[in-house]
């Protein structure tokens, strides 16, 4: 089914339902097809731990940097 943008704005929830149920829905502008309305498909599960053993946190990670503190708070001295 091809619908123009103005009709799609008016009936968006119905068009979403139809696309979700498998019907081909194309949104057009001046009868020129622009986009297909399709159901979302997850790209797959995220794999955790892919950087395990490839990155080490520096020992001074939580220590404050005097130069950065000076930028935020100004020089006290």
Q: In angstroms, rounded to a whole number, what is the distance separating the alpha carbons of residues 50 and 55?
A: 10
Tell me the pLDDT of the chain (77 aa) as tens digits.
999 999 999 999 999 999 999 999 999 999 899 999 999 988 888 888 888 888 888 899 899 988 999 999 987 64
Q: In angstroms, rounded to a whole number, what is the distance separating the alpha carbons of residues 75 and 59?
A: 26
Q: In angstroms, rounded to a whole number, what is the distance separating the alpha carbons of residues 23 and 17?
A: 9
* Entry pTM: 0.55
Q: Which of 1, 52, 48 is nearest to 27 (CA)?
A: 1
Q: How would you list the strands of the sheet with 25-29, edge to edge?
A: 2-4, 25-29, 32-37
């Amino acid at each position: 089914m091809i619908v123009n943008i103005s009709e799609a704005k008016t009936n968006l929830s119905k068009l979403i339902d139809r696309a979700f149920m498998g019907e081909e829905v194309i949104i057009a502008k001046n009868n020129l097809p622009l986009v297909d309305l399709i159901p979302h498909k997850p790209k797959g599960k995220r794999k955790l731990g892919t950087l395990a053993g490839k990155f080490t946190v520096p020992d001074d990670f939580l220590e404050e940097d005097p130069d950065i503190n000076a930028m935020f708070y100004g020089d006290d001295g």
